[in-house]
A and B are shown apart, each in its own frame.
Chain A
Amino acid sequence: MSAPLLSVRDLTVDYASVRRQGRAVDGVSFDIAPGEAVALVGESGCGKSTTALALLRLLPDSTRIGGSIVFDGQNINGLDEKALRQLRGRRIGMVFQEPMTSLNPVQRIGHQIAEVLRVHTNLGSCARRARVLELLHQVAIPDPTRNIRAFPHELSGGQRQRVVIAMAIAMNPDLLIADEPTTALDSAIQAQILELLDRLRRELGMALLLISHDLPLVEQWSDRVIVVHHGQVMEELPSQQLFAQSQHAYTRGLINASVRLHDDLHYTNGRLVEVAANVDPSGDHSFTLTRPPLPASAPALTPSPCDTSLLSVSNISVQYGERRVVDDLSLRLGRGETLGLVGESGCGKSTLSRTIVGLLRPSAGSIRLNGQDILNSDAAARRALRRRVQMVFQDPYASLNPRHRIGELLGNILAFHGERDPIQRQGEVFKVLDQVGLPRSAAYRWPHEFSGGQRQRIGIARALILQPELILLDEPVSALDVSVQAQILNLLADLKATHGLSYIFISHDLAIVRYFSDRVAVMHAGRIVEENDARTLLLAPTHAQTRRLIEAAH
């Protein structure tokens, strides 16, 4: 191997601000050769993003960085502001996670790209403009001469990420750091952006440091993978060997906890592996992998075919002003069935789910639950019906009122639905906390004291406490880490078996939908374009949209 371009040794990062304290990176070492694509992979809070920011010294002033970061013979950890500015943007480019917020909203994108050239070169304004047009062309922004004058809000998420990439490669850097560059994007666009990064890396001979939580993604798009947990490197190995030959218990745990499209695992024939990290008294981490058993009663609850239809939605349309978001859509759900609903963002899946729980009113059509018309019943009947259809939201934090203790959050729902006795209410709250696997003491704590996975358990408890028949799960695990995702999916599968629940499971992740659903409906432009049992749909898709989704998932 040639001399490394970047060589990180014993990197430590300590946060010391009001918001965050403690050691985030704990002795990380790795090398990147010129032109190589290396991935740092790990779950949220493992220190991978902190490492990326430390490389360019983009962390807050209160943060302390230890160890050495040698880039092309210079130790970045000892450079002054001025020397750092010579590296940033010129020799090392960076692409951030959130394309929605990483561009300045009040400046035209051409201006923002040109700014890099203005800082690092003395090109005149005509030459800068020519270079910006060339860059926009290179990152495949449509109609560069027009879009050079666009403001960020006039572009789609994928296009904005292309603009950020154009900014990062404007000076032909030697190293491009991409911090979760596609996490906020649709799966189809994810693939396009990663292809673009890969093509640019080859064309420009850049090295790439890809930060991600997504194991299949880094396997496909990097040469070498570094697995990080609690700020330490667990394992480093060539990407091709990631799934087949990884040795470390943590890596194996992540691999088994994640669901891949071609696995033949279904919730009816097996649970997902849960990985648990244990810290022994000496401070070392050890990992245990467990695959929870299926509940004994599971076979009895396989879905009966549509003879007992729980929900039937007929010909509904939903409009926001002039725009029709759900267009003459019909679907049926059998008792005890899980219907997976997939589609790109903006296809109307969230609007549909909001309409079913009664948050939105359709402009036409009818919704029947157990044969009873939901839309045309009086207020009292509607409230009674509402108990039976509940919803779990995507963002477990934003959907919990931060000023209420968990006990109040859950108890208030019962009070609203007519339970006057506080002792009775408390009993119900404890019962539901037991069911979702939270300690009873959780009732006395605030939402911000819980981790993402625990908050999602609270979200599930909130839906479950009214003993509904149908729960709509709107992307319930897409904000969660792989290992937590496995725990939540296992929990949902268990709850379904014990309570005889029916689910509508909305997700953009085909692999998870395939694992978790009995039947899958593909939504596109406000309509259901294809509907079949999960396995058949993926093996023999008939609609172009389905094929596109499957292709993007591979």
Chain B
Amino acid sequence: MKVVLQDLTKIFPSRNKNGQEVVAVNKFSFEIPDGKLIGLLGPSGCGKSTTLYMICGLQQPSGGKIFFGEDDVTELSPENRGVGLVFQNYALYPHMTVKQNIMFPLENLKGDDRMTKTQMLERAYHVAKLVQIDDLMDRKPSELSGGQQQRVAIARALVKMPRVLLLDEPLSNLDARLRLQTREEIKRIQRETHITTVFVTHDQEEAMSISDMIVVMKLGVVQQIGKPQEVYDNPVNLFVAKFLGTPPINVFDGEVKGEKLYIGEQAVLDVKGAADQLVHVGIRPEGFIVDANGALECDLSNVEVMGRDVSIVSRHASSQNPVIRSIVDADNKLPEGATKVRFSLKPHKVFLFNKDSEERVYFEVK
């Protein structure tokens, strides 16, 4: 089931009389292809959860339309949309067992969809098996670990065989190790069921690692939509560049003059096709090459060895971050007691953004 969002807008009225109304989501248009896993990504308050709730039907859009396939579901209430929602804190009914929780949505079915007890049990066990909790069916949610609760929540959302599965910050309540494991699990379940899935997260790593496509949002406005690697390799503005990647991108103040990029006094890169202007220079940590003849000279702070790679921490007067973090191959040995380090740059890992608009300034990469 593809999901189409058309100029989707949500405006919250102001809390007090004189206050500004808040535009939580501004003209969001996007076609979610059938059977894909989509990550809505952005810092808190960017409107990603609001978008999810509008797709779900728990919140009414102020403008725009939502289609499931060809059906306009904008005004339908959640139960008539055929969606499954997994809440951030799971919202498992604490007084029901796992089995009762999973069967609860089925017991609500009316008319032709009504199921017998046996059918419900069968379906519940089927889904439980899918998320691998079929041996926990008689426990109460309070007797489960966070990861198990998460699976129950997914099972409960899946049991009705929804047309669209929605997950709100599905991993945020899990510890680091479980998070890795569970995100693979979500990917697997989604692959097996082929249900169009939208999930919301503020964790870019999480979004990048499992999504077929990511949507980066900021203050209610969609910044960029694309495959994770594409967005990472080709951010359209400074915000997206900064938001994606760990360690984060290094940003310098720079200037384009005569198709050359200057950081401080040094011309560090040829930027063919870029007009003269002041720019933010974003350089991915992996975009640095240790090079005795490199144009970019930095004050060396320290070197962190991380096995295969080393992370060189250095400083530069034009850097907007307190330190520059570059990741290079461990073969690159720095002389003992060095205080300076020189880099040359990989052009495709360097992004320029206009100083004022923060929009991407493109240049030719050979």
Interaction A to B: no
A-binding residues in B (CB < 8 A): none
B-binding residues in A (CB < 8 A): none
